[in-house]
A and B are shown apart, each in its own frame.
Chain A
């Protein structure tokens, strides 16, 4: 359609301008962090850096990769993300396949039982006591088992199985003598790669970014994931008070800590932000499948 009228053209121009402003607002803090991380901390703290890096300097990065806490946290996060996502995926498939089949007696009851937990739960304290009784406190398992599967993702995957995989295909496989396991592994899953990619991404981002379970259930520092280490560096170290930088040594000390923070932000986010543009269409697809049913 061509916008003929004058008003519509004005609308288009304003629309483009507003969207551009919005995009700049979102982009600016991200670019600033990146520039600041490769600038001389002195310029950053004095407020000389606005957009482009000043006094190119990658000391902060070398320092980070010498920091034992950060490296250990990184390792732990990768471990939790790998194991956690594998468990999540297996559980989601185990739930979604039976629930997608019409001949599965009891699927109404089981769906109801699962969905109910979205709206009501025992709460933090009873859950904490349960974990304690199961002797899972401060273990690897507490990072991957209590959130082994998400209701929302089960629904998304079930909907995908129902709508995108022809029922006749499953029927004919069964007639040809396939049992449910064979149908699932030979017919359904190979046709579900897009949705499996979406699930892997949703779950992996969740594990990578979460700190709540670690905060509540972990006590020994060598098990802390990256996010808890970040919290110490970025938030707990910040007094928030107005400190007058008077003495030379105070300035230098403040600088060595503050200068690190930008680089820490970059290092923590890089894997996600680098992967994301390539995987964007999968993410969006997942949301859309969820939206159909939601």
Chain B
């Protein structure tokens, strides 16, 4: 009985197996054009994103150009140890984290407040003007933003220092002073991004249930109370998602703006991991060492993202995945 059972079973299983591969084959012949379409994209991601991941191994090797990535000798954690013990380590880490946290403290909540305020505006015309103007700086390049900072803050010719002098003060050398660097970085960031970042919250606010507002008004709730208890909870999931993304990238301050604002005089407060990688890697050609520094940064980032996402899911039931 048993053997005949097995004998009966086998062809059946073979059949399903065969029909499954048959199905896959049929899906492929039917949809081969889809695979053809996506092929260049897959190739692009493999070449320009996954091959560099393969290249990460040079962080654990002494990269020798004519031997190539694979044949260069392994050296373990030598480059990491050198980085952790270097004079720059603490400075880079604290600058990177502080710039991120200051930015987060202002650039994150201000767009939310702006969106909540804009949502209360009844006049469509006024709303449109405010939106058009506050969105505009988003389209300026970093070079232009930093260029404007340099021009406005120039100690002898800039308008800000003219104002300071007009009120009887002494001109300040903003762009070369370490004490001003982070403030200027964050404030110009708020100036540039607040309008644009508010769009996503405005979109979320359009989903607010008007019946709740009507009921709350009848119960005597003031406008502020209604914003706090109705509008804010409505956009809370959006806020959490964006907070996760922002916290997850605490270690990745944008290179572009810091690099442009950086000069030999404000280095002590402007040097961050990514500008250090650029200097040691691209300018000094210490490939293995700077790859190790970059990898350290990427791993911390990735770990942060996973932790923050995990916490958000437990606490708030909103998460990226």
Measured CB to CB, the residues of A under 8 A from B are 1, 3, 5, 7-8, 11-12, 15-16, 18-20, 22-23, 25-27, 29-30, 32-33, 44-47, 49-50, 91, 94-95, 97-99, 101, 103-105, 110, 113-114, 117, 119-130, 145-146, 148-149, 154, 179-181, 184, 205, 208-212, 216, 227, 230-231, 233-235, 238, 240-245, 254, 258, 261-262, 264-265, 268-269, 272-273, 276-277, 280, 283-284, 287-288, 290-291, 294
Contact = CB atoms under 8 A, between A and B. Distances in A.
List 10 A-B pairs, minimum CB-CB distance, nearest first. Answer: A122-B52, A126-B55, A47-B162, A234-B147, A209-B141, A123-B294, A180-B33, A126-B52, A98-B34, A125-B291
Contacts of B150: 234-235, 238, 240
Contacts of A50: 159
Q: In terms of DSSP, what is the predominant structure of the interface of chain A?
A: helix
Interface in B261-306: 263, 265, 274, 277-278, 281-282, 287, 290-291, 294-295, 297-298, 301-302, 305
B35 interface: yes
A98 B38 contact: yes
Interface in B108-124: 114, 117-118, 120-122
B243 interface: no
Interface stretch (B4-12, B87-95, B96-104, B171-179): B171-179
A26 B159 contact: no
A125 to B, nearest CB: 4
Contacts, number: 284
Interface of B: 24, 27-28, 30-31, 33-35, 37-38, 40-42, 44-45, 47-56, 58, 63, 69, 114, 117-118, 120-122, 126, 129-137, 139-144, 146-148, 150-152, 154-157, 159, 162, 165-166, 171, 173, 175-176, 191, 194-195, 199-200, 203-204, 213-214, 217, 222-224, 238, 241, 248, 255-256, 260, 263, 265, 274, 277-278, 281-282, 287, 290-291, 294-295, 297-298, 301-302, 305
A143 to B, nearest CB: 14
Contact of B28 (A105, A179, A180): A105
A130 B151 CA distance: 38
B150 to A, nearest CB: 5
Given A26-B136, A91-B40, A284-B199, A19 B121 contact: yes
A161 B78 CA distance: 50
A128 B38 contact: no
A8 B151 contact: no
Given A47-B166, A122-B55, A238-B175, A230 B143 contact: yes
A11 B224 contact: yes
A287 B223 contact: no
Q: In terms of DSSP, what is the predominant structure of the interface of chain B?
A: helix
A25 B132 contact: no
Contact of B277 (A30, A110, A124): A124
Contacts of A101: 31, 34
A127 to B, nearest CB: 4
30 contacts: A3-B223, A5-B222, A26-B133, A32-B159, A47-B162, A94-B37, A98-B31, A103-B27, A104-B31, A105-B27, A123-B52, A124-B282, A125-B277, A125-B281, A129-B55, A146-B48, A209-B139, A212-B256, A231-B147, A231-B260, A234-B147, A235-B260, A240-B155, A242-B155, A261-B147, A268-B143, A268-B144, A273-B136, A276-B139, A294-B241
A15 B277 contact: no
A1 B230 CA distance: 16
A280 B260 contact: no
A120 B9 CA distance: 46
Given A19-B121, A29-B152, 10 more contacts: A30-B136, A101-B31, A103-B27, A119-B301, A122-B52, A123-B294, A125-B281, A126-B51, A154-B41, A230-B147
Contacts of B141: 208-211, 227, 230, 268-269
A46 B166 CA distance: 11
Given A15-B120, A235-B146, A121 B156 contact: no
B38 A25 contact: no
A222 B259 CA distance: 23
B120 A129 contact: no
A45 B152 CA distance: 10
Contacts of A124: 274, 277-278, 281-282, 290, 294
Nearest to A243: B156
Contacts of B302: 119-120
Contacts of A268: 141, 143-144
Contact of B117 (A18, A47, A211, A254): A18
A19 B38 contact: no
Q: Which of A1, A18, A119, A208 has the most CB of B within 10 A?
A: A119
A69 B54 CA distance: 39
Contacts of A290: 200
A197 B175 CA distance: 39
B37 A97 contact: yes
Contacts of B143: 209, 211, 227, 230-231, 234-235, 268
B262 to A, nearest CB: 10
A45 B281 CA distance: 40
A31 to B, nearest CB: 10
Contacts of A261: 147, 151
B175 A98 contact: no
B271 to A, nearest CB: 16
A62 B297 CA distance: 47
B176 A121 contact: no
